Amino acid sequence: MATNQQRREAAKRKLERQLVRRAERAKRRKIVGVGVVGGVVLIVAGAVVWIVNSSGSSNDAANPPSSSAAPTPPIQIPTQRAAMPKRPTPLANPVSCDYKADAKGKTPKKATVPDGKNVPSTGTVDVTLKSTAGDIPVKLDRDLAPCTVNSFLSLAKQNFYTDTMCHRLGTSGLQMLQCGDPGAKGDPQNDGQGGPGYTIPDENFPQLTYGRGVLAMAKTREPNSGGSQFFMVYGDAQLQPDYTVFGSISDEGLKVLDKVARAGITPESQASSPDGTGLPALQVKFTGVSVAN
């Protein structure tokens, strides 16, 4: 039989073993707990990363990051009107105008050739170009270009410009809106070649300059090739004096042109244009032309 001393020592050893086992179990529980918590943290973190990345990739096309999207700078339009040119020597009054048949241009809407005899070369005529973008009042000047004014008034009275579209807008370098092509239907491949079936003699002179408020005739590189197409300058236009100036644009008309210019150019037409001009994003279609008596 064990003595009291032996029993005490046996009990002491048993207690020490129990304490060791308890310590080991506590240590294992602690290790497992840390692992579980760590695993949960990793799972949650991974889920957050997946959600963020998944959300970002699905919206990249619709909402590109601001750092990668270069904003288009706003168009700079001069506010001061350009001085209207004046002939150094007045023309005879009246004049004769030689309108020739146009053998090269397209004539999807042929017009009657105006009478070129006894054309007045003094005075002005108020005209309003009514369009889907707003009315554009202009003042035609016979002192500058009597033959051009005579032709423009003839085309207006024939309703030649009604339902035609302005097909060319420039917003930098050459700030103007070009109109008057009867074949312009919004297709840049087919715009810019149409005319009335006849040509107008050039009425330009070396002192001509172009700027905000100037109304001038468009033409090919050949002399005396103008027809029905014209351009309205709302800003800068560093051009050689090759284009007949035949009038000015009112302040109300310039506000409409500014609105069209700020709307910009359709990207597809601008991308295919060698000079950066193209179809205006805000369509300008003439609904009529009124001539003051």
pLDDT for 40: 43
pLDDT for 20: 59
CA distances for 14 relative to 7, 26, 27, 29, angstroms: 10, 18, 20, 22
Burial 214-246 (b: 16+ CB within 10 A, else e): bbbbbbbeeeebbbbbbbbbbbbbebeeebbbb
Question: pLDDT tens digits, residue range 225-279?
Answer: 999 999 999 999 999 999 999 999 999 999 999 999 999 999 988 888 888 999 9
Question: pLDDT tens digits, residue range 68-123?
Answer: 444 567 899 999 999 999 999 999 999 999 999 998 878 888 899 999 999 999 99
Supply φ then ψ for residue 128, to 5 degrees: -120, 120
pLDDT for 184: 81
Supply φ then ψ for residue 38, to 5 degrees: -60, -40
Asked if pLDDT for residue 6 goes beyond 60, the answer is no
Where is pLDDT greater, at 132 or 69? 132
- Assign a CATH topology to domain 100-291: Cyclophilin (2.40.100)
DSSP secondary structure code for residue 283 in this structure: -
E strand or H helix that includes residue 175: strand 174-179
What is the mean predicted confidence (pLDDT) over 33-39? 42
Least Cα distance to 100 among 222, 219, 225 occurs for 225
Strand partners, 198: 101
pLDDT for 110: 87
Q: HSE of 60 in the Cβ direction (CA atoms, 13 Å)?
A: 7
pLDDT for 58: 33
pLDDT for 109: 84
What is the mean predicted confidence (pLDDT) over 163-186? 92
pLDDT band at 34 (very low <50, low <70, confident <90, very high): very low
Average pLDDT of every residue of the chain: 83
Encoding tokens for residue 76?
């700079």
pLDDT for 108: 81
Asked if pLDDT for residue 126 goes beyond 60, the answer is yes
Given a contact cutoff of 8 angstroms between Cβ atoms, the answer to whether 273 and 188 are in contact is yes
pLDDT band at 35 (very low <50, low <70, confident <90, very high): very low
Asked if pLDDT for residue 23 goes beyond 90, the answer is no
What is the mean predicted confidence (pLDDT) over 145-155? 98
pLDDT for 271: 86
Count CB-CB contacts under 10 A for residue 112.
13
pLDDT band at 125 (very low <50, low <70, confident <90, very high): very high
E strand or H helix that includes residue 4: helix 4-59
Burial 266-288 (b: 16+ CB within 10 A, else e): beebbeeeeeebbbbbbebbbee
> Quick one: what percent of the chain has pLDDT higher than 90?
64
> Quick one: what percent of the chain has pLDDT higher than 70?
73
Place of tokens 């800068």: 236
Question: pLDDT tens digits, residue range 209-233?
Answer: 999 999 999 999 999 999 999 999 9
